[in-house]
Amino acid sequence: MDYSKESVRHQATVKTEVAGELTLNYYEAAPAAGEAGETLGGGLPLVMLHGGGPGASAWSNFGRALPHFAARFRTLLVDQPGFGGSDKPPVVGNFYRFAADAVVALLDELGIERVHLLGNSLGGGTAMRLALSHPDRVGRLILMGPGGLSLNLFHADPTEGVQRLMDFGADPTREKLRAFISTMVVDQSLVTDELVEERFADATAPGAQEAMRSMGMSFWNPETAEDGMLWREAHRLRKHTLLTWGREDRVNPLDGAMVALKLIPRASLHVFPNCGHWAQIEAAEEFAEVATAFLARHRERSKP
């Protein structure tokens, strides 16, 4: 398979699968038979979980990173519930647990026993919850500025990025979406008119606004918010965990990594300079190299 950036979207397989009571959309690509990806990382597939901003989806977050990872691992980019082409039901309980259970149901449907997980922001929280609730289903974790695990020691809450996300939710305009996206990156040339239009279309698609509000309320409602405070459970995680952060992250700032780094027994931290919340885009080459090397150190074979 040709994994050039120009052709990968056409060659990745787009699929939907009933996962429990939900239908999830995902993209899948893998190394050709006999290539190194069949044994790299213990032979486990890699599931990538996107962030939660307006118009976010598996493809918008990780589409450009897929060529590198799919050349080495069977890789699945999953639209979390409420995003992209997946169902957009009301969230039951806290979103992280709701989405983690949906991902596990998807793995069950696909007959996949164990995976490595890579999650950005909201997807990092989902990955963390999945690893805590279903440790037997997870090999290694890569968390990029993860939600729930990030505990800001010096920055105010809500952070600048979260405040701009809330501003868009209250009044969804292209201008407010552009203001939000501008907090994602240091390099403002990445905030193109094409990107704004693509994300705006997804963010205002039928059901998208309602899903965003339901997701957001799961972190504000006192009955469900505490379940999303994953930093309180970080000491229970026994997986090898790579925390990755953009030094200039304005959504989940770098000081939020310190508690997780201290509490997770097998955690390490890699910081990308001159980089915001989208390390997989803004520091694409270095991110891919660091992430691949970390996953490759996993030697345990997946069970048949």
Whether the CB-CB separation of 192 and 179 falls below 8 Å is answered with no
CA 36, 102, 238 angle in degrees (round to 5)? 60
Provide the sign of the torsion angle of the four alpha carbons 253, 286, 69, 297, taken in this order: negative
Whole-angstrom distance, CA of residue 217 vs CA of residue 82:
13
Q: Distance between CA atoms of 145 and 243, rounded to whole angstroms?
A: 7
Q: Give catalytic status of residue 50 as yes or no.
A: no
Which of 153, 177, 159 lies closest to 277, judged by CA? 159
DSSP 42-73: GG--EEEE---STT--HHHHHGGGHHHHHTTS
Distance CA 249, CA 278 (A): 8
Which residue of the set 50, 116, 240, 277 is catalytic?
Answer: 277
Catalytic residue set: 277
